């Protein structure tokens, strides 16, 4: 219940099963209620342990929340900027 109280930005990793996870929508609602910045990161292009990508998942975030693709949008290099942008948009 107290998870996330000290956060200012919530990043939702969007995989094949994210929208089906029990707590995902709750965490999104709570983050919005706290005034957190939000961003979504698609992770389906990251290779699994069999060296295969997963299927793209359904985005559980409101359509106004920016989303990025970890591979296509070079998340390793750009994550900090994405978080800064989400923070500034609170």
pLDDT at 4: 52
pTM: 0.89
- Burial zone of 24 (CB within 10 Å; 0-12 exposed, 13-18 middle, 19+ buried): middle
User: Alpha-carbon distance 47 to 58, whole Å?
Assistant: 18
Give me the residue spans of the domains in the chain: 9-88
List, for residues 16-67, the tens digit of each pLDDT value: 999 999 899 999 999 999 999 999 999 999 988 899 998 999 999 999 999 9
The beta strands (E) that lie in the chain are given as: 9-14, 37-42, 67-69
List, for residues 63-74, the tens digit of each pLDDT value: 999 999 999 999
pLDDT at 48: 86
Return the bridge partners of 67, or none. Answer: 40
């Amino acid at each position: 219940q107290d998870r996330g109280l000290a956060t200012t930005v919530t990043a939702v990793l969007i995989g094949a099963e994210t929208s089906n996870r029990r707590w995902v929508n709750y965490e999104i609602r709570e983050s919005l209620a706290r005034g957190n910045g939000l961003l979504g990161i698609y992770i389906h292009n990251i290779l699994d342990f069999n060296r295969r990508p997963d299927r793209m998942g359904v985005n559980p975030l409101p359509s106004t929340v920016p989303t990025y693709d970890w591979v296509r949008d070079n998340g390793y290099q750009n994550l900090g900027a994405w978080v800064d942008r989400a923070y500034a948009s609170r």
